[in-house]
């Protein structure tokens, strides 16, 4: 078999590109920004100056740096691009038009799919990094036009999550954050008994998804369910077996 060199690439085999915040948070196994989370190679690219604060404040002035980093990922052969902060999705529509490859910047993009698999009377519980930032205007920017079936619980007032992730103290106690995330999940079920699915908005939360499922007994969607789904769409496997 003959292979052709592509553009200026010097490495190959990384189908998913991940745009990273410029953040000192320790990214543990299961986090979007930890390569051991995946069963396939990942290519990372930091967006200089894109802090957690700028993400939550929805700073549109960071877009040129975001585009530059995304173009670098594309030029190095990735087939689809995501990010490690759901609030990057402010730039979702613009970036996908400029890149011409699949772009999926927020785990919230799974909401339409989840709506199709639960009863009309049931609701989706969302655990987010900051409930105040998860506005209808933001959701509409990524094509989600109503919130009547969404129940939101934020982690912005949880001491360990706030200090570790939002305030970026440079350390993280995973046991404490897990307890806070489980409590947030339980709060959702207390707020609304019709919550039947949990969606973890923040890219830091997938390490705690199993604990949330054990505590609630519900299906749990997160960034990793989305990334795995897209990977399996852009890299199809050849089936081998017998009959």
In a domain, 243, yes or no: no
What is the phi/psi pair of residue 135, to 5°? -95, 165
In a domain, 241, yes or no: no
pTM: 0.94
Given pLDDT bands bounded at 50, 70 and 90, which one contains residue 52? confident
Token pair in block for residue 124: 């989706």
What per-residue confidence (pLDDT) applies to 174? 97
Burial label for 130, CB within 10 Å (0-12, 13-18, 19+), is buried
Question: Does 8 have pLDDT greater than 80?
Answer: no
Give the pLDDT mean for 95-122: 96
Do 151 and 216 lie in a common domain? yes
Question: Does 4 have pLDDT greater than 90?
Answer: no
Angle at the Cα of 107 from the Cα atoms of 85 and 207, rounded to 5 degrees: 75
Do 135 and 86 lie in a common domain? no
> CATH no. for residue 24?
3.40.50.1860
- Encode pLDDT of 160-185 as tens digits: 999 999 998 999 999 999 999 999 99
Do 112 and 216 lie in a common domain? yes
- Encode pLDDT of 221-237 as tens digits: 999 999 999 999 999 99
In a domain, 9, yes or no: no
In a domain, 85, yes or no: yes
Do 87 and 152 lie in a common domain? no
Do 96 and 128 lie in a common domain? no
By residue range, what is the domain housing residue 61? Answer: 16-106+227-234
What per-residue confidence (pLDDT) applies to 31? 97
What is the domain count for the chain? 2
Do 59 and 131 lie in a common domain? no
């Amino acid at each position: 078999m003959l292979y052709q060199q592509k553009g200026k690439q010097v490495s190959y085999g990384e189908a998913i590109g991940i745009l990273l915040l410029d953040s000192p948070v320790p990214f543990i196994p299961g986090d979007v920004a930890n390569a051991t989370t995946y069963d396939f190679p990942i290519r990372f690219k930091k967006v200089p100056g894109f802090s957690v604060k700028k993400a939550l404040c929805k700073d549109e002035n960071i877009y040129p740096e975001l585009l530059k980093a995304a173009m670098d990922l594309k030029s190095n052969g990735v087939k689809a691009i995501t990010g490690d902060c759901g609030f990057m999705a402010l730039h979702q529509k613009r970036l996908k038009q400029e890149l011409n490859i699949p772009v999926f910047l927020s785990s919230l993009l799974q909401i339409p799919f989840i709506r199709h698999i639960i009863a009309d009377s049931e609701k989706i519980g969302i655990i987010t990094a900051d409930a105040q930032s998860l506005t209808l205007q933001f959701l509409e920017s990524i094509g989600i036009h109503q919130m009547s079936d969404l129940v939101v619980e934020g982690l912005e007032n949880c001491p360990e999550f706030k200090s570790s992730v939002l305030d970026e103290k440079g350390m993280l106690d995973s046991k404490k954050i897990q307890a806070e995330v489980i409590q947030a999940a339980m709060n959702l079920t207390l707020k609304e008994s019709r919550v039947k699915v949990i969606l973890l908005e923040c890219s830091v939360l997938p390490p705690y998804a199993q604990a949330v499922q054990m505590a609630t007994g519900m299906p749990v969607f997160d960034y990793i369910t989305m990334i795995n789904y897209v990977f399996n769409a852009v890299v199809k496997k050849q089936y081998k077996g017998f009959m």
